[in-house]
Chains A and B, each alone.
Chain A
Amino acid sequence: MVSDRAYLKGARVGAGLERLRAEVARLLDIFRSGGAVLVEPEALQPAEVLLDLYGEEIRARAFMASDDRGEMMLRPDFTVPIVRLHMDSGAEPARYAYCGPVWRKQEAGSKRAREYLQAGFEVFESGDPARSDAEVMALIARALDGAPVDFVTGDMGLVLAAIDALATNPARKAALRRHVWRPAKFHALLRRYGVEHAGLVERRAAMILARDEGRLPAMAAAAGPAIGLRTLEDIDWRAGRLAIEAATPALSAGEVDLLEAVLGVEAPSGAALDRYRDLSAGMPGLRAAVDRFAARLDALEAAGLDAAALPFQASFGRTALEYYDGFVFGAVAPGRPDLPAIANGGRYDALTRVLGRGRGIPAVGAIIRPEALVALTEGME
């Protein structure tokens, strides 16, 4: 029906719409009571910004539009538009509240909504990140009070710290960090640096030897002329990196197992913390991140949540569109596979650095999907 909207039948007219509007107003009031100012970013965002951030894959996820002024995308979420708004004009600290539609292309054949509302709250503040994380989650929990949802949390900071803690060369760590959001590729890299390392070294021996003996340009020229923007110098530079890679010992099975153990933790937060304390005994580089995890649990407890009991999944947040690099959380509706997560949020300090061209500011935020929330709670009262 034309009057249907995401997860709600007939809610584009009359009583259905008013019910939804009232819910959105209630959410925005809660966010404003948390100190937020109302913002309304543009629906059309410069395609180049999103392409630079997410790569070509975003074309399969976001709707494109263009005119003589260039290629635009209908915002697939609010995080990037709000970071842009903040970087352009915002003073620190800042808290923002917003609600509006986002648009996502879905897989062919999928019945998932292409257009749906997000109501959100974002905090841009240096200072105590644990307190800001807890502030956002507590506010979302308040907004969802009474709704039958289960919270789940994760911590991309622990994942990234575990990568940094590996006793290996910086290039491997950079590649693993770059692909942390693509679990299949991430594991392919672990194999490449581990069990497949010896085979790769052998395959590359001739090229590395040629480089050592100054024959690399001749070797490349024999294969073909230099075409495209990638130059012979680029190849020589990479061959140098591959020589370092070849000379670096393979990741041991023990290191890979330890990393997998960090990535595999799934337990109530209190028990997860104990597990990470144990793991950091064999991985000292993990300690600072574990301390931050502990501080966040204290802050969540202080904000009125039962922190130790909060479900924790280390893998949570690794497949999202977002650029989360710290605390992540979501609220899902058990027994309602027809509904998406009712809320999602997390910390995205790195995103602000990328969009701010190096000038970053710690940021954490979350969204609620009001249509899904109404669909979930409808008929409950």
Chain B
Amino acid sequence: MTALKLGVPSKGRLQDATIDWFAARGIRLSRSSQGREYAGRVEGIDGIELVLLSAGEIPRELAAGRLHLGVTGQDVVREQIPAWESQVEEIAEMGFGFADLVVAVPAFWIDVEDMADLDSVAAEFRARHGQRLRVATKYHALARAFFRRHGVADYRLVDSQGATEGTVKNGTAEAVVDITSTGSTLRDNHLRVLPDGLILRSQATLFAARNAPWDEEARGTRAELAARLARAPAPVAGGSA
């Protein structure tokens, strides 16, 4: 028999919120007692094996079919999996981990109000500075597709795996494509979100992998899980790993 493999973030707020979410639906997730091992236990439903992974690795494992189910952000799935809808399916949006992927420019750019302005600024910047306008981001594929849709050319993507909001202040970029929940971190770094620069509204989501080995056992477990998820969640007072 094949256990259904469920990938869950291995640490942090996303893990805590995931544990609470499942607990509210009668399923208790816990890390194995050998604390260092990245596996865990599932109680309240049979046939599920818990795999703890960095949230950023879960999309890749889902696309490869090494996980049946996984919890991660819609942003990383859309960024990392080409034609994501053909690889994974969204089972449930989980109501936490909210983040907007946005285009932000320095607040003092009072001449830039929308993506079309950003495009003409990029052309002028290249002509005046002899280089392409630098846009820092971790989300290369999403940024490029969005810029193409808005007809923005003459920019250069600069890779930024963390603290992207500080790149302009630190002189390594002119604009950013970054995740924000309230916009306050961007504001603190003197950046302003363009009104038509919303690329994606993302939240933590339970995904199913289309390419996983869905044998009869795994399908049965999934159906049982789906039935549990369809019921109204019970209120839960904080879970723990």
User: Which residues of A does B touch, CB under 8 Å?
Assistant: 51-52, 55-57, 59-60, 107-109, 175, 178-179, 182, 184-185, 188-189, 192, 203, 207, 216, 219-221, 223-230, 232, 234-235, 237-239, 241-242
Contact = CB atoms under 8 A, between A and B. Distances in A.
Contact of A60 (B116, B144, B169): B144
Nearest to B166: A227
Contacts of A238: 111, 120-121, 124
20 contacts: A51-B156, A52-B132, A56-B156, A56-B157, A59-B144, A60-B141, A108-B82, A178-B123, A178-B153, A185-B150, A219-B110, A220-B108, A220-B110, A221-B108, A224-B107, A225-B108, A229-B171, A230-B125, A235-B110, A238-B121
Contact of B110 (A60, A207, A228): A207
A207 B106 contact: no
Contacts of A109: 82-83, 86
B44 interface: no
Given A55-B153, A185-B151, A188-B116, A229 B123 contact: no
Q: Report, as a range, how many residues of chain B touch the other chain.
A: 35 or more
Nearest 5 interchain pairs by C-beta:
A185-B151, A224-B107, A108-B82, A108-B83, A228-B174
B111 A207 contact: yes
Nearest to A196: B116
B165 to A, nearest CB: 11
B151 A184 contact: yes
B106 A228 contact: yes
Q: Which of B129, B150, B153 has the most CB of A within 10 A?
A: B153
B82 A230 contact: no
Contacts of A219: 110
Contacts of B116: 188-189, 192
B151 A225 contact: no
Which DSSP category, helix, strand, loop or mixed, fits chain A's interface?
helix
Interface in B95-153: 106-111, 113, 116, 119-121, 123-125, 128-129, 132-134, 140-141, 144-145, 147-148, 150-151, 153
B83 A228 contact: no
A207 to B, nearest CB: 6
A175 B108 contact: no
B108 A223 contact: yes
B138 to A, nearest CB: 15
Contacts of A235: 108-111
Contacts of A108: 82-83, 86
Contacts of B141: 60
B155 interface: yes
A228 B153 CA distance: 19
B28 interface: no
A234 to B, nearest CB: 6
B173 interface: yes
Contacts of B113: 203
B111 A188 contact: no
Interface in B72-106: 82-83, 86, 106
Nearest to A179: B151
A189 B157 CA distance: 24
A51 B153 CA distance: 11
